[in-house]
Structures are given as structure tokens and as C-alpha cells.
Amino acid sequence: MKKFRFLILPFILFISACGWFKSPPEIGKVLSEHFKNKIYKDFDTVAYDSIFVKTMDSLSGKFVNPKTIKAFYLNHSAEPKLVTQFYINGELDSLVNYLNESKVHGFNPKIFKGDEIKNLLDELTANKFKKVEESYPVIAKLELLSANAYLNYNNYLKYGVVNPRTIFSRYYIKVKRPDSLGMINLLNSKSLVDTLRSVQPKSAQYKALQDAYLNTDAYDEKRILLLNMERFRWKMPETGTNYVQVNIPDFKLTWFDKSDTVITMKVCVGGKRENGYEEKLKAFAKSGNLDDKPKNHETPLLFSRINSIQANPIWNIPVSIAQSEIYWMARKDPYYLSNSNIKVYYKDKLIGEPDTINWSKYSRDKLPFKFKQGSGGGNALGKFKFIFDNSSSIYLHDTNNKNGFNLTNRAISHGCVRIEKPLQFAELLVKDSYTYDKLRAEVDLPPIDSTHVKWYKKRMAQKADTTKAFQLKPAWFGPKKSVPLIITYITAWSQNDKIEYRPDVYGMDEKLWTAMKKFR
């Protein structure tokens, strides 16, 4: 608060020197004419400025965006623009109505102080001031509370009340948040009502959740609906009308083209982090012992574009998996690596006989080796890997373990997303019969187009030729054009005119509910 008062001193001097406009100022003219009350013709801008600054100082500590509000009024010489423009025409009353009806969006109307604004409006409307200076505290407080409520209401509906990137450690989607320029533009609006009307969420999903929220009294159901209404308020990146979505709680991949579904399939996602993860992580930070390190394989939430397909992929095994799994398997079974087609590298040089490594000589937290699993049937990535830019080394891929798709809870991977129908997915991506048949040939599948049989047979003959060594290698293919991909987390949504609910597999609902506490 001391810092804010220090900043406000030049503000006082500036606006006091300005005196706004010629006497009486616009607010004086408006109120004098409206009330037919000559006291407002004596409206003293210098005296009002002093009251305004004190009111700002007393209220700003509870404002969400105090610096923006202060900057706006500094730029407008503390003129009560909202009261001047929107009191007489009733738009401040309309603002109060919108604030009080914010419960239809799951908000507690008290957070906007609509009742206090209404009382100030009533006090101004009563027109019982004996002297004009008696109106100054009412006008100043009405102006500032209205500005704060107006900004907050618009921002909450347009961007959501919570920034997910601040509460979720693996949320890498760049959601757009309110900025000072946008808020200044809001305060300069020509019509509050038009702005309030336009900011109402229009998506069919949001409206369906909202209807369900207003039509149920069940606490748990209202809670889930409210959480997902908030998710649909977040300003997500533009996916366009043709995009792929992976919804973690649903364990599904869906390719959308406008309102149509191109394909849908089951997926397996990363396993949930250990119970008590935060406390265990603190213990690991102190000890540095890998035995204390808690597991966290949760698939991150992200937005990217699928830009390439790799047939017969090589798996570059992450250090974390090498330490927690590969190391122990190799110690237990000296032939595990060769039987699993896993090659070992020391200083980027291939070790010819990894079965001879004495693993007991090495600490798993300081392994000097890198591990790669070669292409082929036993590869954990299966026959296809779908690649998109991201900072977490995450991708979509096939799997050699199809049984996982039969599970109800498919949060079982190390973080990447296993997809049920990789071949069909690849076909949709390449959108070209020649390229698709080339891709099929790489995984020993006959071509769809009979004119491509010749080179398919040639490849199969090369593979079957025992006089020559045939080494299976990765082959790269490009999609017809990159396709937007969003990996998201939605636990309730509308589908076929009913609300679908899914379990909170990562506990993200709980964390979001806590963050939204003060708005409920």
C-alpha cells in the first residue's frame, strides 16, 4: 500500500492542476440538467479530485487490476466517465443486473459488489444532497466500483477466472489472458450494454453445460459442470475447423471437421502421478536419491501441429525410463537388451555386446549409457509414430501392447499417447493413395492400388533374400498438410444432446475447484 501511495502522489498533483475541462465539467452539466438541480453547476473538479484519489487509495487494494484502472483515470484526469455517460441512460443499472445475474455462469454475484453499486446509484438518484461536495464521495465510489466490476465481469466471461498455466505444472497450452490495452478499450466503450451482451459465451458446448448447471440441484453435478464451463471460457489457440483432439479423461482421440467427426479411437495416456507426489518430491529434493523420486507420467496438455509420420520408428529411451526400468531389467537378465532389440551407446558409440556389461558397476543415477530400441515388431512404439513440435518429447504412436485398449482406465503409458487405429490415422493424414501405399509397404502391408503391387513385391523380395542382410529402418512421411492437435482435459461435455461425464483421472478437477473457491 505504501508503494501505491507513493505512485499516487504525482497523480494527485497532475489531476489537480488539470481541472479537467471548463467549469462546470461534463458531469456537472449532465447531473444539473437531469435533476434540474443547480448545485451541480458548482461542481468543483479540484475538490472532487482530492476525494477521488482518497477513494482510489481506499479501494484499489481489493481491485484485480488496480494499475490499469489508475492509468485509465490518470489519462482522463479523474473524470467520472462511466457515471457521466451511463448513469442517465440507465446502463449502470443494466450493469448491476448483469452482475446480479452472474450466478447463471456459476459466479457468486457478491464478488462484483453489485449491491453496493446499486445502493450508490439509489443514493445519487435520491437527489437529496444539500451541497454539491456531498455528492463527490458517492460519484467517486460509484465510478471506481463500476469500473472494477465491469472489467472483472468481462474478463471472467471472456478469459475465465483462473489462468490454468499458473496452477497446473504440465499445462503448456498458451491461453490468452486479459491485457491492459484491452481493458482500457473496455473502459472506453460507447455502450456498456452492447459490450456485456457481446461477451456472453456463445459456444454450443458452453450453453449446453450452462443449461445443465441451471437445471440440476445435485451438488456434485453442479460442481463438475461449473469446472468445465470454466474450461470452455479459457481463450484457447485457434484450431480452425479441422483438427485432432485428445481428451485425457475420455481416453479418446477425435478428429473433427467442422461439426462432423472424421474418426474417433481409444487412446492410452500417461499414468497418474504417485499419491503424495508433492511431499515426495520435496523429500527427493533434499536427498537426491532416485529411490525417493516420485513417478509422474502424466501426459501434458498442449497445442501443436502434426507435421510428420515415422514408420518403423526407433525409440530413443528417455533417461528416466532407463534409470527406473531398463537398468533393473538388464541387471536381472543379461540377455534382456539383445532380446528386446535395445542397442546401448557409450559416448555416442555403439556397444557391440551389451550382454557383457557388468551393470552392478554402475549407479543408475549416473548411467553413462544411452539406449535405443530398434525398428521392428517388438518396438514399444509399434509401427508408427506421429510427431509434432513440443518441449516435452511427447508424440502419438502405435503400440505392441494392444491389450491396454481393453482397459477402462487407460492412464498407463509413460506420457506419450498410444492410439488404437494408427494405420487409419496415417491414411487420413497423408490423403494420397500413392503415399499411403508406400507407407503400407514399409510395414509389410499390400497396397490398396493394384498399380503399386510391383514395387511392393520388390520390397518383400529384398526382405526375404537370405543372401543379403536386410535392415529395417525408419521411413519418414509427410501429411498432406500439418493438422492442429490439442491434448486437453475435459470431464463434462455435451454429446448427442446429453451431458457426458468422465472421472477426474489426474485430479485436475480438484485443483481447479480449489483455485475457483473465491469466485463461487
Closest CA to 93 of 65, 62, 124: 124
User: What strands, in cross-sheet order, belong to the sheet with 342-346?
Assistant: 315-316, 369-373, 342-346, 349-350
Determine contact, residues 251/269, Cβ cutoff 8 Å. Answer: yes
Residue 458 pLDDT class (50, 70, 90 cuts):
confident
Lowest mean pLDDT of 51-55, 309-313, 446-450, 492-496, name the range. 446-450
**By three-state DSSP, how is residue 253 classified?**
strand
Q: What is the pLDDT of residues 109-168, one digit of tens each?
A: 999 999 999 999 999 999 999 999 999 999 999 999 999 999 999 999 999 999 999 999
Calpha distance 247→416 (Å, rounded): 13
> Can 397 be counted among the known catalytic residues?
yes
Among 105, 268, 297, 416, the active-site one is 416
Among 105, 268, 297, 397, the active-site one is 397
Q: What percent of the chain has pLDDT over 70?
A: 95
Contacts of 423 (CB under 8 A, 6+ apart): 383, 384, 440, 443, 445
pLDDT for residue 197 is more than 50: yes
Calpha distance 273→170 (Å, rounded): 12
Residue 337 pLDDT class (50, 70, 90 cuts):
very high
- pLDDT score at 18: 52
pLDDT for residue 251 is more than 70: yes
Report CA-CA distances (Å) from 139 to 59, 78, 122, 123: 14, 11, 11, 10
| Burial readout 351-380 (b: 16 or more C-beta within 10 A, e: otherwise) | eeebeebebeeeeeeebebbbebbbeeebb
H helix runs in 293-421, sequence order:
319-321, 327-332, 336-339
Other Cβ atoms closer than 10 A to 389: 10
H helix runs in 76-198, sequence order:
81-86, 91-100, 114-126, 136-159, 164-167, 180-187, 192-198
Rounded mean pLDDT of 397-416? 96
Fold of 236-287+295-314+375-489: L,D-transpeptidase catalytic domain-like (2.40.440)
pLDDT for residue 14 is more than 70: no
| Whole-number average pLDDT of the chain | 93
Q: What is the pLDDT of residues 74-123, one digit of tens each?
A: 999 999 999 999 999 999 999 999 999 999 999 999 999 999 999 999 99
Rounded mean pLDDT of 466-472? 72
Determine contact, residues 365/378, Cβ cutoff 8 Å. Answer: no
- pLDDT score at 299: 98
Rounded mean pLDDT of 276-302? 91
Other Cβ atoms closer than 10 A to 164: 19
Residue 472 pLDDT class (50, 70, 90 cuts):
confident
Question: Helix axis angle, 219-233 relative to 204-214, nearest 10°?
Answer: 160
Residue 365 pLDDT class (50, 70, 90 cuts):
confident
Q: What is the pLDDT of residues 494-520, one digit of tens each?
A: 999 999 999 999 999 999 999 999 898
DSSP string, 187-219: HT-S-HHHHHHHTS---HHHHHHHHHHHT---H
- pLDDT score at 10: 53
- Backbone torsions φ then ψ of 477, nearest 5 degrees: -135, 145
Other Cβ atoms closer than 10 A to 22: 8
pLDDT for residue 192 is more than 90: yes
Residue 17 pLDDT class (50, 70, 90 cuts):
very low
Cell numbers for 477, please give them: 512421411
Name the range with the highest mean pLDDT among 9-23, 297-311, 334-348.
297-311
Determine contact, residues 247/254, Cβ cutoff 8 Å. Answer: yes
> Can 105 be counted among the known catalytic residues?
no
- pLDDT score at 504: 97
Strands 242-247 and 483-488, by their bridges, are parallel
- pLDDT score at 453: 85
Report CA-CA distances (Å) from 390 to 87, 171, 395, 410: 51, 12, 9, 23
- pTM, two decimals, is 0.90
- pLDDT score at 6: 46
Rounded mean pLDDT of 239-265? 96
* Residue 433: CA count within 13 A, CB half-sphere: 7
No. of helices (H) and no. of strands (E), the chain? 21, 16
- pLDDT score at 2: 47
**By three-state DSSP, how is residue 397 classified?**
strand
pLDDT for residue 8 is more than 60: no
- pLDDT score at 469: 64
- pLDDT score at 28: 95
Cell numbers for 138, please give them: 458517492
- pLDDT score at 517: 92
Q: What is the DSSP letter of 326?
A: I
Calpha distance 150→196 (Å, rounded): 8
Domain boundaries of the chain, sorted by first residue: 26-192, 236-287+295-314+375-489, 316-373
Calpha distance 423→435 (Å, rounded): 13
DSSP string, 439-463: HHHHTT---SSGGGHHHHHHHHHHH
pLDDT for residue 492 is more than 70: yes
Task: Give me the sign of the Cα torsion angle 448, 450, 452, 454.
Answer: positive
